[in-house]
Structure 1
Amino acid sequence: MKNDIVKTTFLLCAVLLICLAPQVVQGQYRPSVDIQEWPSGKIVLATGDTIYGPITYYRAQEVISVLNGDGTKSSFSPVNVQYFIGQEQPSGRSYTFRSLQWDLGRDFTDFKKPTFFEQLNQGTYTLIMREDYVRKDMASTSPLYAQNAMHGSNYYVPGSEWLDQIKGLFYILLPDGEIITLRNVRKDLHQLFGSKSKEVKKFARERNLGYEKQHQLIAIVNYYNSLK
């Protein structure tokens, strides 16, 4: 009787895993550290036209590619795009990227170029992000650090020799379209918060929020926006 129960439980688990398997692969996927893929998406072009389909985002090249219904692919750079959205299935979680005029973080210049930024929230101050990558030699990395990194969302392991760390670079988009680089995230944010800085600091302290993790940073900026 006990063996029958074990066998039945095993079979139920196996069936459940088989049923869930197609869903697991439908999230965002990174075939390389600077490439992201989504099973479905939406691209709104500068012309106002909208295209739907699976999306691949080549972050380093600043190019997005969409798989059309007829099997062909179309590629676009920031100059051709207003915004695009990559969406996971079946969760429906979406990732929004906007094409914004940016001075590339250079001071004292009027030159700007269309650039993709990931939009993390919405409000008076919009938190936006780009990515940077740091490559480490696995041979010079402690086994415990490497093991923990492999299970972290901020790391990508392309092979047995290298460990790539994904580092978020954060910015604030002001209502007038100006982009503020947060070089020292905490200091620069509170300078922007001005007279509301003390209230935001109290909010962050009471909830043990830091300025390194993306979701906590979003909560801090959203709270400031709520005060406005």
Structure 2
Amino acid sequence: MKTLRFSFAACLLALAVGLGGSAVATAQRLSLTQQFAGSTVLLTSGDTLQGPLALHRTEDVILITLPDNTVSTLSAVAVQSFAVKGQKDDRRNGYDDFYDSRSGYYYGNPYYSAPPRERRERVDTSLVRVFRTFRWNHDNDYSDFKSPGFFEQLSGGPNILLRRESLVQRTASYNDPLYRGGYGGYGNPYGGPRQMGSYNEIKDVFYLGMPSGNVLPLRNPKKDLLAIYRQQAKQIEQYAKGNKLSFTDARELAFIVNYANSLQKEAK
């Protein structure tokens, strides 16, 4: 199994900011692995396991180191859910995780009058992240075949904002600000010729997990979310605009989904 640590993408954040929307993704999708110092895994059998965990996102496989130092390899079909904390990967590599304590959105308490606080500079290693297994069609709308996959839970319910992440390789064009000098040697600070280059970027794909167990893709998060919450769409738009929340930012979208859920509850 091929794995790539985040050190492989050491200039990810600077590149992602500098490139903006002008970068073009290549066809190559890379394997993404994240490692955590601690975890609790609930198996479909009802048993639980604890220990350091490696999450192979692309393959939907986890490797957990047990107290006797043996390693158990588990696919999504054997796992109901798991919680992890103490991520070992260096956030300076540009991985955009939740630097908030989750007190405002994960436990279902949406902001009504204030936006979520800004991200911290350093990762909170005590932060607990929850992953659940859902059966899905791997974004193939023309297939009825569904298999289990790991989705990170980003909001409360009953409709749950979910996320899958993947590592993709992108190629930058000559017109990108990246090549105007100063970014990791790609640009020429002395005004000489600029060279093409590639970089790795973590891609977020959002879904909505329904109480029925179905997973709805949010390919255009704003459009799709407002269509799902049709009766509350106007209030949701006003809430997002008033609090300057983006429908494409994972952390801010979680606030929006929690707020949408609260409106549905009030309507009942």
What does 1:146-225 correspond to in 2, within 5 Å?
147=183, 162-225=198-261
**Amino acid aligned to 2:199:** L
Which residue does the alignment assign to 1:76?
74
Q: Distance in 1 between matches of 2:255 and 2:204?
A: 16
Q: Distance in 2 between matches of 1:52 and 1:31?
A: 26
Identify, as 1 or 2, the structure richer in helix: 1
Q: Distance in 1 between matches of 2:166 and 2:53?
A: 21
Q: Which moved more, 1:42-51 or 1:133-142?
A: 133-142
SS where residue 88 of structure 1 aligns? strand
Q: Distance in 1 between matches of 2:172 and 2:208?
A: 34
Contact 1:135 1:165 in 2 (8 A): yes
| Structure-2 change in CA distance of 1:216 and 1:68 (3 Å) | same
**Gaps in structure 1 of 5+ consecutive residues:** 1-28, 149-160
Contact 1:62 1:116 in 2 (8 A): yes
Residue 120 (structure 1) aligned with residue 154 (structure 2) = yes
> Residue 145 of structure 2 is aligned with which of 111, 125, 130?
111
Q: Distance in 2 between matches of 1:121 and 1:138?
A: 34
**Gaps in structure 2 of 5+ consecutive residues:** 10-31, 88-123, 185-196
Q: Distance in 2 between matches of 1:113 and 1:182?
A: 19
Q: CA deviation at 1:87?
A: 0.9
Contact 2:57 2:166 in 1 (8 A): no
Q: Distance in 1 between matches of 2:263 and 2:171?
A: 45
- TM-score under structure 1 length normalisation: 0.75
Which residue does the alignment assign to 1:43?
41
Query: Structure 1: which 4+ aligned runs deviate by more than 4 Å?
Result: 137-141, 143-148
| Structure-2 change in CA distance of 1:200 and 1:164 (3 Å) | same
Identical positions, percent: 32
Q: CA deviation at 1:147?
A: 4.4
Q: Distance in 2 between matches of 1:118 and 1:145?
A: 37
**Amino acid aligned to 1:188:** D
Q: Distance in 2 between matches of 1:145 and 1:46?
A: 52
1:86-108 deviation line (CA, Å, top 9, x unaligned): 11288421111111111222225
**Amino acid aligned to 2:128:** S
1:65-119 deviation line (CA, Å, top 9, x unaligned): 0111111111100011001111128842111111111122222543211111111
Q: Distance in 1 between matches of 2:50 and 2:173?
A: 43
Which residue does the alignment assign to 1:19?
none
Structure whose CA Rg is larger: 1
SS where residue 152 of structure 2 aligns? strand
| Structure-2 change in CA distance of 1:133 and 1:146 (3 Å) | farther
RMSD: 2.4
Aligned length: 188
Structure with more contact order per residue of length (Cα contacts < 8 Å, sep ≥ 6): 2
| Structure-2 change in CA distance of 1:205 and 1:138 (3 Å) | closer
- TM-score under structure 2 length normalisation: 0.64
